[in-house]
Structure 1
C-alpha cells in the first residue's frame, strides 16, 4: 500500500505516489512511466493533475522527459568534485563502464577560445560522446596540441582515455585545472547525442588542464545534462 497524504492537493498526492514507487524500486532507472491515460484512470485524477505532478518530479530530477518517447525515471545523480583533476574515466572507473565514442576528428581546428587556452596556432579537435554503462553522459570537444609527445593524439582519437594515455606515453602529467561553468540549453545536435529534450538544462564547462610547469596540455568543452551529475566544491 502506497503511503501518501490524502489531505494534500491531488497533484501532490500523485507526486507522492510516483515518488514512493521510484524509492521502492517499483519504477527503476530508465523505466518509462505508464501512459498518461493509464495514470489518470488508476489514480482517479485529470490529465492536468498528472501533468503537474510529473512536471514537478522532472524539475526535481527524479523524472526526465524524452522528446517523442515519453517520461523515464532518471538515473541516480553522479557526484564529482569540481577541484579534482580527474576526468570521467578516472572519477568513475571501477564502479561504471566508461566508453569514449569518437564522433569526429578535426586535424587543424582553429576555435579561438581553444587556441588561446592552449597557446598554440592550431590544435587537433576530437569530438566524443562519453558513455557511462552504455548510456550517454557527456558530449565533449577535446582540443590537443599536435606537439604532445608520443602517440597521445592518435590514441585518444581511437577512444583511449586522456589521463591514462598521457601516463602510458610518458607525456607531462596534469597538475592543475581551470574550469569555467555555465548552465544553458542544448542545441539540436547535442540533444540528439545525449537523448534529451530542448527544455533539459545542461552544464556547459570549459576545462583547461595544465602541467606542473604551467604549460597547457588540453582544453575541453563539455556538455552534461544537469539531471545526471552533481558538482561539489571542496576547499
Structure 2
C-alpha cells in the first residue's frame, strides 16, 4: 500500500490501489481481476475489506461482478454529447475506438403503424442491431426508416454499416436535427443476455428521431445502453 494513503480507511486504500492498477495497465480493460485470495495476499487485507473495495468500484462502474466468472474490469465510459448529430460510428471514431453494428434481425414492412405514421413512411423497414465498442456489446438499437425513400441505404445497413454514413454517402442527405427522449430503467431478460448485464444494472432507454433541414423525419431509433458504459453531456 502507498504510505501516503495510510490515514484512509483500509477498504479505500484497496479501492485506490485497484484503480491505480487499472490505470497503469496491471489490470487490463476487458480482463478479469485475479482471484480473491491473490488480491488479499497482494494488498494484505481480509476478504471483507477486499469485497467492500470491489463493491464500491462495481457501484462506480469500474468493475462488474459476473456470476461464476469473476470480476471484470470495465472499459472506460464513452462520453456522448446529447445535442450532437454524430452517429455511433463517428462518435467512436472520434474516441479512437472501433464501432461495430451486428445485425440481429431485419423486418421488411413491420406491423408498426404508429412508427410508420411518425416517419411518414411508404415502405417501413426495421433493423435490430447490437452496437459494439471494440468488439464489446454496448447498445441494443431498433432502427426504423423508409426503404422507399432511401432504397440505396438498405443494403449498406444490412451489411453492418453506419446508417448515418450511408445516408450521407449513398443518399446525399445530411441530418439536421435530432430529438431525444431519455428514460432510465432495468433491462429485460433478453436484453440482459445480449448486453451481459445483471438484473440490477440500470440502463438508459433513449428514443431518437432524426430530421432533415426541412423537418422531414429521416429515421427513428430506440436504444438500450447500460448506464455504466456511457456518460451523457449537454452543450448549450
TM-score, length basis structure 1:
0.90
Name 2:29's counterpart in structure 1. 29
Q: Give 1:175 deviation, angstroms.
A: 0.8
**Counterpart mapping for 1:177-196 below 5 A:** 177-196=178-197
Q: Give 1:97 deviation, angstroms.
A: 1.8
- Partner-residue secondary structure (3-state), 1:53: helix
CA contact (8 A) 1:4 1:16 kept: no
| Cα distance change, pair 148–20 in 1 and its aligned pair in 2 (3 A) | same
The runs of at least 4 consecutive aligned structure 1 residues that moved more than 4 Å come to: none
Q: Name stretches of at least 5 consecutive residues in structure 1 with no aligned partner.
A: none
RMSD (Å), alpha carbons: 2.1
Name 1:163's counterpart in structure 2. 164
Deviations 1:79-107 (CA, angstroms, capped at 9, x unpaired):
11100111111222262221211110111
Distance 1:23 1:160 in 2: 33
CA contact (8 A) 1:99 1:132 kept: yes
Deviations 1:18-61 (CA, angstroms, capped at 9, x unpaired):
12222332212112112223323443433332222111111112
| Cα distance change, pair 76–3 in 1 and its aligned pair in 2 (3 A) | farther
Name 2:228's counterpart in structure 1. 227
Structure 1, 190-199 or 106-115: larger mean CA deviation:
106-115
Aligned residues: 235
Q: Name stretches of at least 5 consecutive residues in structure 2 with no aligned partner.
A: none
- Partner-residue secondary structure (3-state), 2:151: coil
CA contact (8 A) 1:3 1:17 kept: no
Structure 1, 218-227 or 169-178: larger mean CA deviation:
169-178
TM-score, length basis structure 2:
0.89
Name 1:217's counterpart in structure 2. 218
- Partner-residue secondary structure (3-state), 1:109: coil
Distance 1:29 1:12 in 2: 21
Name 2:80's counterpart in structure 1. 80
Distance 1:110 1:131 in 2: 28
Name 1:200's counterpart in structure 2. 201
